Amino acid sequence: MFFTKFPTHPYACMRIGTTGSRHRDCAALISYGYLLNLLGMTNTTDVMDWVFIEQVGNDIDRMMKEEEELMETHSYFPYHVDMSLVLKSAYSATANPHFFEWVHITRALLRTSKSCNARHITESRATDILANAACLAYAYSTT
C-alpha cells in the first residue's frame, strides 16, 4: 500500500512482492470491474438495472456495504485476506456464486475468452441466470 501511494519512492520496485496478494480472494469483485469495463459503464450502479434475479441481487448487497473501505484509495482493503483481517472474503466467487455466474455468462455471451474459461460454481437458478445474462448481453451487443 505504501508504494501504491508513493510510486516514485526509490524502493517502489519492491512492490512486485505484493502484487500477488492484492485483491486475493476477490474474484467476484474483480469480475464485476471487468464487466463494467466491457460494457463501457463508468458508474458502478448502472448495471444494477439489469439484475432480475433475487439471488444475484443478494450477492451484490452482500458485497457493496457502505461501511467497507472498498473505494478508499489508500486502504488495506486489497490485502485484507493476506493480512488475516478476515476468515473468508465477502468478495470471493464462492461467497457470491450467483453474481459470479451471472457476470461470466454475460461476458461469455459477449465472446470474452477469459469468461468462457471461468469456473462454473453453482447449479442453483442456472436457467434464470442464463436468461438474465442473455438479456444484458443482447442489449449491449446491439448498441
Residues 37 and 47: their CA atoms lie apart, in Å, by 11
Cut 0.85: pTM above it: no
4 lies in some domain: no
Chain centroid to Cα 126, Å, comes to 19
**CATH code (residue 110):** 1.10.3610.10
Q: Does residue 7 lie within any of the structural domains?
A: no
**What tens digit of pLDDT does each residue of 52-82 get?**
999 999 999 888 876 666 667 777 777 777 7
Specify the number of domains making up the chain. 1
How many secondary structure helices (H) and strands (E) does the chain include?
6, 0
108 is a domain residue = yes
What pLDDT digit, counting tens, does each position of 116-135 carry? 888 888 888 889 999 999 99
The verdict on residue 119 lying in a domain is yes
Residue type (1 letter), 53: I
Structural domain including 64 reads 22-141
> Does a structural domain hold residue 105?
yes
Q: Give the whole-angstrom CA distance, residue 104 versus residue 115.
A: 5
> What type of residue sits at position 88?
K
